[in-house]
Structure 1
Amino acid sequence: MRNLRSILLGCVACTAFHPLAAIAQDTQAGASERGLGDIVVTARRVEENLQSVPVAVTGFNSEMLQNLNIANFGDLGAAVPNLDVQRQFGSASAPQFYLRGVSTGSLKFETDAGIGLYIDGVYLGRPAGTAFDLADIERVEVLRGPQGTLFGRNSTGGAINFITAAPSGELKVKVEGTIGNFDRYKGRISVDLPAFGPLSVRLSYLHDQNRGYVKNLTPGRTYNFTAPFGTVKSAKDFGRENTDAFAAAARLDLDALKIDYKFDYTDKRSTQLGQQLLGFDPSFAATAPAFYGSPSLVVGPSTKRQKALALDFTTPSRLKIQGHSLTAAYDISDQVTVKSITAYRKLDEFVGGNDIDGGALVVGGLPFTPISSIEDRHQKQWSQELQLLGNMGQIEWVVGGFWFRETGTDNNPVFIGALFPPVTLDPSRGPGTGTTANIFGVPSDYLAGSDASVRNRSLAGYAHLSWKSDDFELAGGIRYSKDNRREMLRAAGLRPFVLPAETFNASGDHWDFDATATYIINPDARFYARFATGYLSGGIVGGIPFKAETVRSYEIGFKGDLIDQTLRVNAAAFHTDRRNVQTLAFTATAGTFILSAPKAEESGFELELTAVPTEGLTFNTSFGYVHSKLSDNPTLGPVNSLSPKYTMNVGGQYDAPHFANDSYLSFRIDGAFKDKRLSDPVRNSATANLTTLPSRFDINARLSLVDLPLAGTKARVSAWVQNLTNNQELEFARNLSTSVIGVFQVPRTYGIDVGFQF
């Protein structure tokens, strides 16, 4: 009740801002030439102007994406308040997200993520494997706060939607190339074909590669495994990437019926940034010198970023992603449209070897690992969404149904204290099996790993209604979801040598609601108050059931385009209550597990400002504050929140007056700050100094010559630099119950872009 009263008092306090109404009244005459442009979002499942949607949402159009160098989900962290994106260890293609204190980053198919990730409105069942480039992005929207009614389960922190470009029906060609340090080479081509009657098509191809940022001092060491792993070889460099991506879009426009097909495919070969040995857990410190103190340890513990590491079991990985979506919209009348979204997506990732312990060790002449792993995983998903959308005067509504089915397999042994003899390696599933030799007495290579299959299904129905007058808008929605989850556990923990292989089932359902009241000062300014619920599905991991996480959110906000639409102000204050909070943790003996906290509270504030004080000059800034408080785990005690308390970005762009040939210079600089934060959910005061990530401020800059006439085309040439001051801070760290390892940020990169449009 105290929190609810605070929200209501905040609504009343908004009347103190009434002078803003007088300023905003001046905007009704329309924007000047130097005014701010509109940004389209689909936060309520229909296209709307970002400023008219009573939801905290950040939107980026194609020009903004280019200026900010955003190519995939992992690039968004520097541009959205209260959003942090980290490159974690365990996979080169699995960024970890934190949005308003809610985390994603799980590598387990049995668990879901609290931030919904979408491509063209299609839900991605696995956040693991989302650091892949899309060949043709048109816009991006980041919705902050629970989106449980319109976007469904697993959006307790928010939703991120990438929208790819649709065909125009006119002949257009766009070619872009990049060359940079660390042997960075990138090329992209997009071709819009002329319409053939009602059919139009767009094709795009992307190639992006670099040689990596950290050298491996032990490259080329080969290990032969039984299927499905095969032969692996330690990487030459860490952070190396080689990506090929393709996209196709086709539109059939039959007036009342429009059918869109979109296809994306990415083939990414890469290596992790490299796990660096930071130090040791005190419980392991007495044993560590027997292994890490040997001459075979090439690089010792250090809390400073090393330019070269010795990781003899970290190998290149390969990720293949493909997606198909078919969207059909039929106008039954001028007021009613029926829409169908059918989608299929597939993920195949061979993670390869993962030298978790941060060292290259030899015992008795054989390669030895205190802790490492190898992984092969595959996932498929089908989804079907059917919507009925209506617009009748002051009332707009959508009624929909959603079906989702996912299957996956994940084979992930974890080698603890293991020797690798020169034979074909078969991971041990119990005493007397396999060909690895364990000197720690661990009975199985699956004690902390698993070999499992999953089948997850979800069914939902929802409805959302809004009523709008000149001064007010009232909106509300409801959703019912039913989940069925199955885990088929072949090996994990004491399975199968003590406990048999077994299949586990879990099911649950949930109702979600939202309600929003908006006071429309004028078409360019409004206040809103919003209540929303959401849930993160429960299930079973390692044969142990866990409850669904639920959230209730209270939010007030203001959106305004002021001073003749030259100043955009978007602000939101929020409070959330979560129950059965799901946090994933890892230890050398237990592997990955749910570290549940009975409840959590997040309170915070977000402010986004964009100003165009004069023609050609644009300033933008955003600020995010979130205070997270998690209750203790009944068994393990305090649970750490891993979200930074403060995030901020500032940027400015100056477009100089045009030259005689109509080209012009454009300069942009952006800075992003995030507060210091913890990186290990399990609280351990003895290693907290090693797993605390420092605050940092990163600067990016770009200088462009735009619209340069060249051989009948228009060219764009840009010189850019990322991480201008060459920060080399710790980005991710974990205590593994033995060693403490960390991943450091990418150093300064720079290059030149050249682009042409025909």
Structure 2
Amino acid sequence: MTSKAMVSSAANPPVRLAMSALGLALASTSAMAATAADAASDTTADPQDAQNLDGVKVRSTVVNTTSPKFTVPLLDTPRSVTVIPQQIIQQTAATSLLDVLRQVPGITFGAGEGGNPNGDRPIIRGFNSESSVFIDGIRSSGSQSREIFDIDQVDVIKGPSSVYTGRGAVGGSINLVTKAPKAEDFVRGTGGVGSDNYYRATVDWNQQVGGDSAIRLNVMGHSNDVAGRDGPDMSRWGIAPSVTFGLHAPTSVTLSYYHLQSDDTPDSGIPYNNPFAATSPLANLNGDGRPYSVPRGTYYGWLARDYQKQSNDTGSILIKHDFSDGWTLRNTTLYARTTNDYIWTQPDDSQGNFLVNGGIWRRNNNRNSSTTNLTNQTDLTGEFETGSLKHSIAAGIELSSEKTQRTSYLVDPATSATDTHNTGSIINGACSPRYGIGAPSGYWCTNAQHPTPNDPFNGVIIGGQNPTRIVTDTRSAWAFDTVTIDPQWSVNGGVRFDSFSTRSVATTTTTGVVSRLSNDSNFWNYQLGVVYKPAQNGSVYLSWGTSSNPPGVDAGDGADGIAVTNADLKPESSRNLELGTKWDVFNERLSLTAAVFRSEKDNARVATGGRGSPQINAGKQRVDGVELSFSGQLTERWNVFGGYTYLDSTLVKTGAGDLASQGNQFPNTPANSFTLWTSYAITSQWSVGGGAYYQDKVYGNTANTKWVPAWTRFDAMVSYQVNKHLNLQLNVQNLTNKYYFDKAYAAHYASVAPGRSGMLTANFSF
């Protein structure tokens, strides 16, 4: 285990914030602590479990999505949906969206750059879902790295599903469910320390006010170095207050606010060992395409220059009214602002410096973006009957406006036409014999085997370069109906219409040239499924669904932006055909699912020539797959969560500019992946747990020339229930200290996963 010195929380402002909030919460609730303890004494289990280890009873542990668009329980929904509950989030010591989604096979994460932002890039069933992340059912716009201190559960909808979420969602979508006020009093929280300067403190305080209102406050402070990496670190803090008026009344109003602030030193990754194109005169020096062979701790970053600062502010108003006949009307208004500001080093391999001159150019990637999102969403749910048919209905409308302003930095610009110290060229640039490694190149070039991240940076950074402004407006309407024909048969149908409009205005700083682009698209999407129930606790289904992916789906702050090459194209269309079965067994303690599917895109955007050439809707992409999953309790003491996914991805038809890739495997799409998290209560006080995660080799590019090897990782956990108020939990992640890569970029580099780390957490509840 990496053994950097542990630092007192007194030196960490984010942690001090969380501890101060804890003191306030404890002081405010001291009078009710004794009575609240019995209601919330188990800090290691989901409240639904209510399990008694002496064998009295274990209630259902089946979890469901909270989305009103799902008109029946997941057991009877003809769609692959994985719900990651709070219990799994806590037991695995997850602190980020990446940590949480590690539990779901078939999901990978893509790496970022400059124009392709450095942040969360989940890839589901082979398709980028960066712009298909939602918070309480509303799109989470803007590139960012998400925290989970204010998250109750995470829902993953798999397969083309624009009927649920609108544009994008080609491979699926992700919905994060936040912690809302409840009709009970409690104070819960965590305090953790660990290796690699790990500190984390959280507070979750819920307080009833009067007879029909409640407030809830979540606070978090966090900092850590990245285990096994000699340079990157993370520091962040967040606060999320909310209040609900009318908890038990027909009409309720919930006001909530969320703030997250981070200040990180980003990681630089490891370059691939085959930097040259096949047409290069130096192509015979190419490696086989895996990352360059250096120790895991090799860090190419430039600490005096590199940084990443992010912020997220979100405010929402939810008004809900329950009618006397069982119908419910909801209206949500949300305003959010997200910023992503960074300069970080990419160990540039494009010129092959590390092969030719033994040095590597510290290319800078940078971005300064701000995205705002104003959304109003209304939905109506209820049931009615027409003769012998029972209908479960969900219908709604959504209006949204997303605005992004994005600029770049000019870093240490050339002083003359002959000054090429920061170009990275093997002939005239930073690592050439003319400039050399270290001081002669202004430290833009460092030793490839033994880089020096503490080099001084004496260059100039000029902001506000190449400003771009994007405005994206969407108008949507949808309706779902599950028709129950008899106790064994039901039909689920859904339809959604989106009117999508995006406008981009870009200015080239050096020339003043203004470029204006736009795309207006109207598209329909559909969902149709038939469910047969051979037993009350099981179902077999056949479903079909579609997705639409217009140019500019990212609202200007992602990897699918509008450009001169695609602005006039129609949306890409995808469809999914799936046959599956779901079973809740062992008295609804364990959920089992299995599915086979085909996802196809017949009009994928492909280039007509080389890089930067116009695109046309002429490509075809296909993924055939199998998914198995399990979640719940095998016995009163034994919990399990995980699954297996097989993905056979094929670039069936590519453009003229990429014919060599035709028939290749999708980037970032492993053929086989497996996840397992399990825990066992040895006694009423002692529990142990462990995780096993496997992922096949994945390619970073469509040419399948850049790749990272398959890997297997193991985690472990042991917890001790000190008393009804306090639980101690020890987690060791990457138990065997496996050196592996968890993100593969299309060119240049792959991201190194953290090494072995340990953290001891005190979970408390009053």
TM-score by length of 2: 0.77
Partner residue, 2:198: 184
Say if 2:370 is the partner of 1:378: yes
Q: 2:694, 2:209 → 1: CA distance? A: 46
Q: What's the CA shift for 1:99?
A: 0.9
Q: 1:263, 1:615 → 2: CA distance? A: 38
Say if 2:665 is the partner of 1:649: no
Contact 2:62 2:584 (8 Å CA) reproduced: no
Distance change in 2, residues 1:531/1:257 (3 Å): same
Contact 1:508 1:538 (8 Å CA) reproduced: no
Contact 2:590 2:633 (8 Å CA) reproduced: yes
Q: Letter of the 1:245 partner, please give it.
A: G
Partner residue, 1:560: 583
Partner residue, 1:578: 601
Q: 1:144, 1:170 → 2: CA distance? A: 34
Partner residue, 1:98: 123
Within the candidate set 397, 404, 416, 2:400 is matched to 404
Q: What's the CA shift for 1:735?
A: 6.2
Q: Letter of the 2:750 partner, please give it.
A: G
Q: What's the CA shift for 1:752?
A: 0.5
Within the candidate set 153, 167, 181, 2:181 is matched to 167
Q: 1:360, 1:528 → 2: CA distance? A: 53
Q: What's the CA shift for 1:452?
A: 1.4
Partner residue, 2:21: none
Distance change in 2, residues 1:263/1:166 (3 Å): same
Q: What's the CA shift for 1:582?
A: 5.3
Distance change in 2, residues 1:214/1:420 (3 Å): farther
Distance change in 2, residues 1:583/1:167 (3 Å): farther
Q: 2:504, 2:472 → 1: CA distance? A: 9
Within the candidate set 304, 308, 314, 2:294 is matched to 304
Say if 2:238 is the partner of 1:245: yes
Distance change in 2, residues 1:655/1:339 (3 Å): same
Q: 1:147, 1:103 → 2: CA distance? A: 13
Distance change in 2, residues 1:727/1:438 (3 Å): closer
Q: Deviations over 1:213-238 (max 9, x none)?
A: 4666xxxxxxxxxxxxxxxxxxxx22
Contact 1:305 1:744 (8 Å CA) reproduced: no
1:429-468 correspondence runs (5 A):
451-468=467-484
Say if 2:288 is the partner of 1:271: no
Partner residue, 1:538: 551
Q: What's the CA shift for 1:203?
A: 0.4
Q: What's the CA shift for 1:196?
A: 2.7
Partner residue, 2:77: 53
Partner residue, 1:475: 492
Q: What's the CA shift for 1:103?
A: 1.7
Partner residue, 2:214: 200
Q: Letter of the 1:352 partner, please give it.
A: I
Distance change in 2, residues 1:361/1:205 (3 Å): farther
Partner residue, 1:679: 700
Partner residue, 2:320: 329
Q: What's the CA shift for 1:304?
A: 3.2
Contact 1:50 1:59 (8 Å CA) reproduced: no
Contact 1:41 1:47 (8 Å CA) reproduced: no
Distance change in 2, residues 1:654/1:594 (3 Å): farther
Say if 2:708 is the partner of 1:693: yes
Contact 1:247 1:263 (8 Å CA) reproduced: yes
Q: What's the CA shift for 1:654?
A: 0.9
Say if 2:162 is the partner of 1:137: no
1:385-400 correspondence runs (5 A):
385-393=377-385, 394-400=390-396
Moved more, 341-350 or 313-322: 313-322
Q: Deviations over 1:243-298 (max 9, x none)?
A: 10111121111611111222211001112222333435235998999xxxxxxxxx
Distance change in 2, residues 1:512/1:665 (3 Å): same
Contact 1:305 1:729 (8 Å CA) reproduced: no
Partner residue, 1:154: 168
Q: What's the CA shift for 1:94?
A: 0.9
| Stretches of structure 1 lacking an aligned partner (at least 5 in a row) | 1-30, 106-112, 217-236, 290-300, 422-427, 659-663
Contact 2:228 2:755 (8 Å CA) reproduced: no
Q: What's the CA shift for 1:560?
A: 0.8
Contact 1:92 1:317 (8 Å CA) reproduced: no
Partner residue, 2:275: 281
Partner residue, 1:730: 741
Distance change in 2, residues 1:314/1:749 (3 Å): farther
Q: 1:385, 1:471 → 2: CA distance? A: 34
Distance change in 2, residues 1:556/1:42 (3 Å): farther
Distance change in 2, residues 1:680/1:255 (3 Å): same
- Percent of matched pairs sharing the same residue: 17
Q: 2:487, 2:157 → 1: CA distance? A: 25
Q: 2:279, 2:762 → 1: CA distance? A: 53
Moved more, 321-330 or 636-645: 636-645
Partner residue, 1:339: 330
Q: Letter of the 1:241 partner, please give it.
A: M
Q: 1:419, 1:560 → 2: CA distance? A: 62
Partner residue, 1:756: 764
Contact 2:61 2:632 (8 Å CA) reproduced: no
Distance change in 2, residues 1:276/1:562 (3 Å): closer
Q: What's the CA shift for 1:102?
A: 1.2
Q: 2:112, 2:738 → 1: CA distance? A: 18
Contact 2:97 2:148 (8 Å CA) reproduced: no
Within the candidate set 504, 521, 526, 2:539 is matched to 526
Say if 2:529 is the partner of 1:513: no
Q: Letter of the 1:318 partner, please give it.
A: K
Q: Letter of the 2:658 partner, please give it.
A: L
Q: Letter of the 1:501 partner, please give it.
A: V
Q: 2:589, 2:317 → 1: CA distance? A: 39
Distance change in 2, residues 1:49/1:395 (3 Å): closer
1:224-239 correspondence runs (5 A):
237-238=231-232
Q: What's the CA shift for 1:720?
A: 0.8
Q: Deviations over 1:702-737 (max 9, x none)?
A: 10012x22xxx510101111111111113334465x
Q: 1:251, 1:525 → 2: CA distance? A: 37
Within the candidate set 614, 619, 623, 1:598 is matched to 619
Partner SS for 2:313: strand
Q: What's the CA shift for 1:201?
A: 0.4
Say if 2:655 is the partner of 1:633: yes
Q: Letter of the 1:33 partner, please give it.
A: K
Distance change in 2, residues 1:649/1:349 (3 Å): same
Partner residue, 1:219: none
Partner SS for 1:64: helix
Equivalences, count = 642
Partner SS for 1:125: coil
Q: 2:176, 2:742 → 1: CA distance? A: 25
CA RMSD across the alignment: 3.6
Q: Letter of the 1:276 partner, please give it.
A: I
More strand by share: 1
Say if 2:339 is the partner of 1:348: yes
Partner SS for 2:75: helix
